[in-house]
A = this chain, B = another copy of it.
Amino acid sequence: MAKVDGKGGEGVINALEDIAPDLGRYIVEFAFGDIYTREGLSLQERELITITSLLAMGGCEPQLRVHINGALNVGLSQSKIVEAFMQCIPYVGFPRVLNGIFTAKEVFAERAASE
């Protein structure tokens, strides 16, 4: 998980500490321990799928933010992330794609500012 989500994911786990520590533990153990470590897809492919599912569900912008960072952390380029969202237009419509793109724009700007 450190490799994928870095500080963003760590911040989420820490914020859960005093209210629902088991939720953080399940994210670490189940989402990252059980699912992300499976064979058959590369980490880059897994992050592509994760950001697509978050975009399509709607209302998951905080998690999308963490995983756009995760996608960059495992080596996906900014343009590939944008292109993944473009591919969703016909299926989820423009509004959810716009929400995803503007979330990506914020993440890209934050990382540029902190470099």
Contacts and interface: CB of A to CB of B under 8 A. Distances in A.
A95 B86 contact: no
Chain copies in the assembled complex: 6
Contacts of A12: 98
Contacts of A98: 12, 23, 62-63
Contact of A31 (B52, B80, B94, B102): B94
Interface residues of A, number: 59
Contacts of A88: 49-50, 53
Contact of A56 (B30, B52, B79, B104): B52
Contacts of A41: 80, 83-84, 87
Interface of A: 12, 15-16, 19-20, 22-23, 26-27, 30-31, 34-36, 38-41, 45-46, 48-50, 52-60, 62-63, 79-80, 82-99, 101-102, 104-105, 108
User: Which 7 pairs of residues, A with B, have the shortest CB-CB distance?
Assistant: A56-B56, A31-B90, A59-B59, A40-B83, A58-B59, A93-B93, A60-B95
